[in-house]
Amino acid sequence: MPSGDFLTAILAQNTDAPPYEDIINFPRAKDRTDIQCVMCGKQPGEAGCVIPKQNKDVCRVRATPPHK
C-alpha cells in the first residue's frame, strides 16, 4: 500500500481512472441475448437464475453471501 511521499507523488499525477471494461477480469455480455452468470454459467430463466442489471452479470444466488 503506497504511503508517505510515494502516495503524495501518485496522487499528484492527477490521471484519469481507466475505463471499467479495461480492468474487469471476466468477459461481460454485449447484449441481453448473450448474458449468463460469470460465476455459475447459467442464463436468466434457467433453474431460477435471475441476473439484475446492477449485478454486473452475476446471478442473485451467487451475489448473495452464504449465511450460517
Q: Calculate the CA 37 to chain-centre distance.
A: 11
Domain assignments of the chain as residue spans, ordered by start: 4-63
Query: What's the burial of 37, exposed, middle or buried (CB within 10 Å: 0-12/13-18/19+)?
Result: buried
Alpha helices in 1-68 (DSSP H): 4-12, 20-23, 60-63
Nearest to 37 by CA among 64, 21, 24, 56: 56
Can you give the pLDDT of all 68 residues of the chain as single tens digits? 667 888 888 788 878 888 877 888 777 778 878 889 988 899 998 888 999 888 888 999 888 877 65
Length of the chain in terms of residues written: 68
What is the pLDDT at residue 68? Answer: 59
